[in-house]
Structure formats: structure tokens, C-alpha cells
């Protein structure tokens, strides 16, 4: 018999997908304003973007979709974009120190995103010890390994 979590999970994940789709569309419509907002917030946080001076802790954006993705994925997206080569910084430690001390990363998170992340990863977290065997059986041929 299905419990309440299993019944609500598809509904909640659908709501999160819908929210992300709508948010992405809105951020696409306000692209130039989003770019100015991000640059202004970073500047207030002591981090400049694409300047000729290039002081330690300043960043160089290499992909113009950086601003849109930052609006959608926020801090997690910032780290992922760095790993994917969307932006560079010579001194990440200085950049993150400035951002943390100036409260920049608090501005870049939205309450509704926190709520959706809470639902997705705390209430409906599918990565449990009990479920790990189910996932292993679906994805790996365990009979082959048991010789």
C-alpha cells in the first residue's frame, strides 16, 4: 500500500518543475535587468565582473548565459558554472570571502527556492539506506557479482 509521501511525491516534483519553468521564462524576459542586478549585487559585495583591472577576487564571465543560470540555480549553479568553465577567478578564496563577509550570497537565494529544496531533499529524499538496495537492483546486475 502506498503511503502519503509516495502519493504526494509526483505532485510536488511537478510543482517544482513548473515553478522552475515559469521562473526560467520570467528570467529570460528580464534578461538585461537580471544582468544589471547581478552585476550591481556583486559590486556591492566587493566582486567586480569583467573589469580591465582584474583585482584578486574579481571574476571573468565567459558565457553570457551565466546571469540567467545564476538566477535559476543560484549558489549551486555558481559552483557548477565554475566547474564547467562559464566563469573564471584567479583567487576563489578572496571572491568567496568577500561574498560571505558582505552578505552577497544571502541576496542570491530566494525563500521559495529554499522551500522547494527542503521539500525535494528533506521531505521527499529518495536517497535512503533502505532504498539504496532497490536502486542497486535496478541499475546493476548484482547476480553477476555474486560468484
Helix (H) or strand (E) holding 31: helix 31-44
Top-confidence residue, 129 or 45: 45
Q: Residue 60's pLDDT is what? A: 95
Q: What is the pLDDT of residue 84?
A: 96
Kind and range of the H or E element at 12?
helix 4-29
For residues 98 and 47, the answer to whether their CB atoms sit within 8 Å is yes
Burial of 99 (0-12, 13-18, 19+ CB in 10 A): buried
Q: At 142, is the pLDDT very low, low, confident or very high (cuts 50, 70, 90)? A: low
Q: What is the per-residue pLDDT for 105? A: 75
Distance separating alpha carbons of residues 34 and 26, to the nearest angstrom: 10
- What integer pLDDT is reported at residue 62 of this predicted model? 96
DSSP 146: -
For 37, the domain range is: 4-145
For 29-84, how does the pLDDT look when each residue is reduced to its tens digit (9 = 90+)?
A: 988 998 999 999 899 888 999 998 889 999 999 999 999 998 888 888 899 999 99
Average pLDDT over residues 115-135: 71
Q: Which residue has the higher pLDDT, 76 or 118?
A: 76
- Over the chain, what is the mean pLDDT? 82
The pLDDT score that the predictor gives to residue 73 is 83
Count of domains in the chain?
1
Whole-model pTM: value is: 0.70
Amino acid at each position: 500500500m502506498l503511503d502519503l509521501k509516495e502519493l504526494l511525491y509526483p505532485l510536488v516534483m511537478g510543482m517544482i518543475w513548473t515553478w522552475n519553468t515559469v521562473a526560467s521564462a520570467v528570467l529570460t524576459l528580464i534578461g538585461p535587468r537580471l544582468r544589471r542586478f547581478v552585476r550591481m549585487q556583486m559590486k556591492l559585495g566587493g566582486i567586480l565582473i569583467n573589469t580591465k583591472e582584474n583585482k584578486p577576487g574579481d571574476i571573468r564571465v565567459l558565457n553570457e548565459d551565466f546571469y540567467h543560470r545564476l538566477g535559476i540555480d543560484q549558489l549551486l549553479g555558481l559552483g557548477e558554472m565554475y566547474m564547467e568553465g562559464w566563469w573564471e577567478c584567479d583567487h576563489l578564496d578572496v571572491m568567496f570571502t568577500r561574498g560571505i563577509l558582505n552578505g552577497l550570497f544571502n541576496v542570491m537565494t530566494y525563500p521559495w527556492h529554499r522551500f522547494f529544496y527542503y521539500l525535494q531533499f528533506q521531505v521527499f529524499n529518495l536517497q535512503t539506506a533502505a532504498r539504496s538496495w532497490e536502486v542497486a537492483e535496478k541499475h546493476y546486475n548484482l547476480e553477476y557479482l555474486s560468484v
